[in-house]
A = this chain, B = another copy of it.
Amino acid sequence: MRHRSYLLLAHYPVVDRVGATITSAMTALDLHDLSRLARTYGLGGFFAQTNLPQQSALMQRLLRHWIGGAGGELNPSRKVALEGLSMVESIDEAAGKVEAEWGEKPLLIATSARDDGERMGFGEVGKLLAETTRPAIIIFGTASGLAPAALESCDVVVEPIGTPSDYNHLSVRSAASITVDRLFG
């Protein structure tokens, strides 16, 4: 059976280091890493989100090498992973696609390195996902994270990845990998 949980990497609206709302640049390597992560954990798929059509078009052009081109022939496992990737303009668009597939609105589960609002523990979120019949989208923000309004519009915000140090500056690639392993590993 197809997995009901999806990943989404958000590039807008996110905040920069001083808290201004921006669109961050898409990074091809992020799309590879999160596609491979979603596929390895058997998830429903992975959405790469940006509000800038030119960014989306550039990425689709780069990824064509891996899906229909020489990269995919040389490295079939990369092709398989990237086939689970969809480009979307908004979190709403991704939610609509998931709802169309499952007949129910997905739970929107945001992640954040900041601990300044209502947060749910990893154990609780894992339990929620195991028990609900609804599909879900786990959302990761690039740059300095999802903009506050976008974060608050999600159903759940997961607690930050707790670590033994006072330093918490993981890359989004690391944070997504650890989050997925904690929730689905």
**Chain A residues with a Cβ under 8 A of chain B:** 17, 29, 32-33, 36-37, 39-42, 74-75, 77-78, 80-81, 161-165, 167-171, 173-178, 181-182, 184-185
Contact = CB atoms under 8 A, between A and B. Distances in A.
A104 to B, nearest CB: 22
Contacts of A42: 163-165, 167
Given A17-B75, A33-B173, A171-B33, A163 B178 contact: no
Nearest to A163: B40
A46 to B, nearest CB: 13
A177 to B, nearest CB: 4
A144 to B, nearest CB: 11
B167 A80 contact: yes
Contacts of A81: 167, 169
A162 B181 CA distance: 10
A78 to B, nearest CB: 7
Nearest to A173: B173
A171 B42 CA distance: 15
15 contacts: A17-B75, A29-B171, A32-B171, A33-B174, A36-B171, A40-B168, A40-B174, A41-B163, A41-B164, A41-B165, A77-B167, A171-B173, A174-B177, A175-B177, A181-B182
Contacts of A161: 40, 181, 185
Contact of A163 (B78, B169, B173, B185): B185
A41 B80 CA distance: 32
Residue with the greatest number of chain B CB neighbours at <10 A, chosen from A75, A184, A185 = A185
